[in-house]
Structure 1
Amino acid sequence: MSDNKPFLPPEWAPQAALWCGWPHLADEWGGNLEGPRAQIAGFIRAAAAHVPVRVAAGSAEALASANSAVGDVAKVMEVPAGDIWLRDTGPIVTGQGAAREAQAFRFNGWGGKYLMPGDTETAGAIAASEALPVSQHPIVLEGGAIDADGKGRLLTTRQCLLNPNRNPDLTADQIEARICAALGIDEMIWLGDGLLNDHTDGHVDNTARFIAPGRALCQMPSGAGDPNTEILLEIEATLRDAGLDVATIPSPGLVRGGDGEPIPASHMNFTITNGAVLVPVYEDHYSLVALADMKVLFPGRKIIGLPAGHILGGGGSFHCMTREIPA
């Protein structure tokens, strides 16, 4: 093994900082920023008790409103950002300590669906703020499309990574080889589809996550009307077939959006940070069960359930809007 091989720390490794987005494009939020800003402020306050939080404000107005809301507990900085989804637009940081390096992949608005000014500059701006060297990669990759266990394994989905709207000129083998080389990965575990109506074309951080080396967490269907029943069962089976130790928590079940259609609500879109796991919850019994299960799965970490319905209205949740900087 080369000494120069990159190392992608797992999310449970010690963190120097946690970046979080701040909503500022009203059109992306149905014209109302009040709800998502209130829920994100609650998240930032909870996270700031465990890790230094940096808030990425994409406009002068966002800078002022974020400072007013959370400036007493977080460092707010104006950086180019179309909106809050730093998991996908921010850098993926490899290495630890003095060996840290920001890996910046090409971002194309989730396959050209949501193009917002500033999003292609976010990774470089965060890296510069953290004084990290940057390595640029021409392949399209969003951070929410992958999840690492710190021992050379990576989870992803075919629906997203092999979507022709991402890297149409590359084969699956070429995509895998380039990501493995950039991030120091030995084994990619390919799941099939993500959640129904997921704007990201099936990001894995909504369906399956590593919680320890070789140990994955996914959701079991909840209620007779769970719109993702077949998808969730297939994910669990695929993880087990890959030889992983698999734990499950309940899904939120059927959660409808304003138009009455199912939305990709998930307990999997949690953020792990120093001493805590921040979990999106919804107004249902299943969230209470999921939180109780996670207290057993994350010994030594505080499990913090926080409402995320307004944030989900913008297309994602806690993990989607954050990006950790390893210590």
Structure 2
Amino acid sequence: MTMPMPPEWAPQEWLWIGFPHLAEEWPGYLARAQEQIAGFANAVAESGQEVRLLVRDDANEARARELVSNAVRLEQRVYGDIWLRDTGPLILGDGSALRCRFNGWGGKYEMPGDERIGAELARDAGLALVESDWILEGGALDGDGTGTVLTTEQCLLNPNRNPELSRADIEMRLERDLGFTRVVWLGEGLVNDHTDGHVDNLARFVAPGEVALPLATGSDDPNAAIYADARARLLDAGLTVHDIPSPGLIERDGLIEPASYVNFAITTNLVVVPTFGSPHDADGVAAIAALFPDRETIGLPGCAVLAGGGGFHCASQQMPRL
């Protein structure tokens, strides 16, 4: 029987983080995105956990070294985008690492290196690599360590991923490959989420059977109906729901951004929450801090990172202490 992935709050050996390097993915925001990712890496390293910041080449290594402390380890790697939650290895409780196929989030963002980086990180970490034949990104899943996993229909049932697989087929593969014996299906992800609705931007386990979920703030919150639908499904599944505020309406160049405090990164000693210059930032960080009394919680600016399509959780992948 496959041992499930350890929950993110389990002790970790290190955290991999991707460093932005593609100007076309952050038009006008690349320098600030690099600074915000460096701030994330520094905070985790200063908390006492090893950080391995991936950099694309010599020029980006030099830029990263200007921004991070000596406590952050830099590794040159070939990768496209920085979203290691999706392209990095999915590490199971038995010390093996799963890599499914990757197709650039449904064929939208295919970049050289992204299809290989997960296997390379796993092998270099000394993990036994298991490769599977279906398309899956790590941000599409969130598990609580007991065999229960959250996901969304918008992503996992999307015809741009595995059109030949039914819901039952996908549930079978989640159990076979990742040890998840119970799948809680949510519906849509956030408006304009580049990933077709990854659950790590919508709802996250904070303890076995307990989920953090945004509550709409303001009559113009673009995700109010999505949050309400997710809440109903989580309660129907018998899970405990902890309300955290939504950032509300966040726009860039007139377009709604998929901003979410739920895209927090849990590390061994620290929880890092992205903030967006919203009047709800402080309340969002405080609500998440209340769910993790055993570790410090901080908010760090993540608006420039979001301009490239994700947040701190998306840009990182943990190596559990096995």
Question: Which TM-score applies when normalising by structure 1?
Answer: 0.95
Write out aligned runs for 1:3-22 (5 A).
5-22=2-19
| Cα distance in 1 between the residues matched to 2:31 and 2:5 | 36
Does the alignment pair 1:126 with 2:125?
A: no
1:213 corresponds in structure 2 to 208
> What displacement does 1:73 show?
1.9
Does the alignment pair 1:88 with 2:86?
A: yes
Work out whether residues 29 and 307 of structure 2, in 8 Å CA contact, stay in contact via their aligned partners in 1: no
2:44 corresponds in structure 1 to 47
| Cα distance in 2 between the residues matched to 1:59 and 1:248 | 42
Work out whether residues 20 and 86 of structure 1, in 8 Å CA contact, stay in contact via their aligned partners in 2: yes
1:253 corresponds in structure 2 to 248
| Cα distance in 2 between the residues matched to 1:269 and 1:325 | 18
Give 3-state SS (helix, strand or coil) of 1:243's partner. Answer: coil
Q: Any idea what the Cα deviations from partners look like across 1:221-261, whole Å, max 9, x if unmatched? A: 01111011111111111111110011010000000012x01
Question: What is the aligned-residue identity percentage?
Answer: 47
Work out whether residues 80 and 125 of structure 1, in 8 Å CA contact, stay in contact via their aligned partners in 2: no
The amino acid that maps onto 2:314 is C
| Cα distance in 1 between the residues matched to 2:62 and 2:182 | 44
Work out whether residues 191 and 222 of structure 2, in 8 Å CA contact, stay in contact via their aligned partners in 1: yes
Unaligned runs of 5+ in 1: none
Work out whether residues 194 and 207 of structure 1, in 8 Å CA contact, stay in contact via their aligned partners in 2: yes
Write out aligned runs for 1:315-326 (5 A).
315-326=309-320
1:76 corresponds in structure 2 to 74
Moved more, 173-182 or 53-62: 53-62
Give 3-state SS (helix, strand or coil) of 1:55's partner. Answer: strand
Write out aligned runs for 1:82-231 (5 A).
82-95=80-93, 99-231=94-226
Work out whether residues 58 and 83 of structure 1, in 8 Å CA contact, stay in contact via their aligned partners in 2: no
| Cα distance in 2 between the residues matched to 1:32 and 1:147 | 29
Question: Which TM-score applies when normalising by structure 2?
Answer: 0.97
- Aligned match for 1:239, one of 231, 234, 239: 234
1:27 corresponds in structure 2 to 24
Q: Any idea what the Cα deviations from partners look like across 1:164-192, whole Å, max 9, x if unmatched? A: 00001111111111121111111000000
Q: Any idea what the Cα deviations from partners look like across 1:266-296, whole Å, max 9, x if unmatched? A: 0000000012110001212211111122222
1:279 corresponds in structure 2 to 273
> What displacement does 1:32 show?
4.3
Work out whether residues 215 and 243 of structure 2, in 8 Å CA contact, stay in contact via their aligned partners in 1: yes
Give 3-state SS (helix, strand or coil) of 1:291's partner. Answer: helix
Give 3-state SS (helix, strand or coil) of 1:37's partner. Answer: helix
| Cα distance in 2 between the residues matched to 1:196 and 1:188 | 23
Give 3-state SS (helix, strand or coil) of 1:285's partner. Answer: coil
Unaligned runs of 5+ in 2: none
2:286 corresponds in structure 1 to 292
CA RMSD of aligned residues (A): 1.1
| Cα distance in 2 between the residues matched to 1:55 and 1:275 | 18
The amino acid that maps onto 2:76 is E
Give 3-state SS (helix, strand or coil) of 1:9's partner. Answer: coil
Work out whether residues 103 and 134 of structure 1, in 8 Å CA contact, stay in contact via their aligned partners in 2: yes
> What displacement does 1:26 show?
0.9
